[in-house]
Amino acid sequence: MALISEIDKLKDRKKYWKILGKDVRRDWMLYLFLLPVIANFVIFHYIPMYGLQIAFKRYNIGLGMLGSPWTGLTNLTNFFTSYYFWTFTKNTLIISLMLIVFGFPLPILFALLLNEVRHAGLRKASQTISYLPYFVSAVVLVGMIKQILQPGGGLVNNVILMFGGTENYFLGNPDYFRWIYLIMEIWRGTGFGAIIYIAAITGIDQELYEAGVMDGAGRLRRIWHITLPSIAPTIIILFILRMGGILNVGWQEILLLQNPLNADVAEVISTFVYKRGFGVGGGNPDYGYAAAVGMVNSVVGLIFVLLTNAIAKKASETQLF
């Protein structure tokens, strides 16, 4: 019986490749469009994996990748046993979880609200204005935040003084840093993040809404019983992908917002990797150490993707793979 089963599988496999070959010959021009995507993955995702060996070496530019001496798990051990490991990990997780709890639902809510705007011109203008901040560079964005929050002329402090309060150096106060970064990222990414949800809402069959109106459902009920269930697969897929980057936060913005007064809460794994890898702040660049920490980030992200996907698979019919 086992032999017969294997023969059937072999026949099915041959049949599959035969059908695929026929499709490729018939629609070869369409498959040709896949080449840039495949080339992108091979060149920028698979070939760089060869450099992962740097994480297990004391990399020296002069000796090259093959000539640099192996150190085994030394770089990983040094990271996990360092006194700053728990501090950086805690800071990274807190900021990432804040972005997930407060930042992830807002594009969904914005897309739902935008879908209820009946005036086409107002809807397009609102959408355009909302995603413009996404295209502002990190340097310009942080510069704007510093100008707004700075004492002695900043907009926020001027308003506080107007109401009889006292000036505050917000970026120098560790209690404010995470919330400042959160608000900045929400303002920057909400409009752009809503684009996918708006596209998903656009694809909903309008007859469902017409049936809801005929049944006497108001706007809120139509949103709850029609719109949200229809875009739920999109929400789940994006949430799974977001969990994969739980240890990756906007290191450029955080690095630019850092100062000696808020360093205890502002130093995250990504900024540490940057500083250690390029020798920022003194010391020699340690490419092997930085590569090892980056590898840890990727492994943790993969674990979270697998866990989140498994949970989504059990809780619903939607899954990433």
Residue 319 has pLDDT above 60, yes or no: yes
DSSP structure class, residue 57: B
Q: What is the pLDDT of residues 107-124, one digit of tens each?
A: 999 999 998 888 888 888
Of 294, 298, 279, whose CA–CA distance to 61 is shortest? 279
**For 90-315, CATH number?**
1.10.3720.10
Q: What is the pLDDT of residues 11-69, one digit of tens each?
A: 566 777 778 788 888 888 888 888 898 999 899 888 888 888 888 988 888 888 888 88
| HSE of 280, CA atoms in CB hemisphere, 13 A | 10
- Do 68 and 75 form a contact (C-beta atoms < 8 A)? no
DSSP structure class, residue 258: -
Give DSSP secondary structure letters for 139-201. HHHHHHHHHHH-TTT-HHHHHHHHTT-----GGG-HHHHHHHHHHHHHHHHHHHHHHHHHHHH
The residues that bridge with 57 in the sheet, in sequence order, are 70
The length of the chain, given as a count of residues: 321
Q: What is the pLDDT of residues 249-300, one digit of tens each?
A: 878 899 999 988 888 899 898 888 888 887 776 667 888 888 888 888 888 8
Please, which pLDDT band fits residue 182 given cuts at 50, 70 and 90?
very high
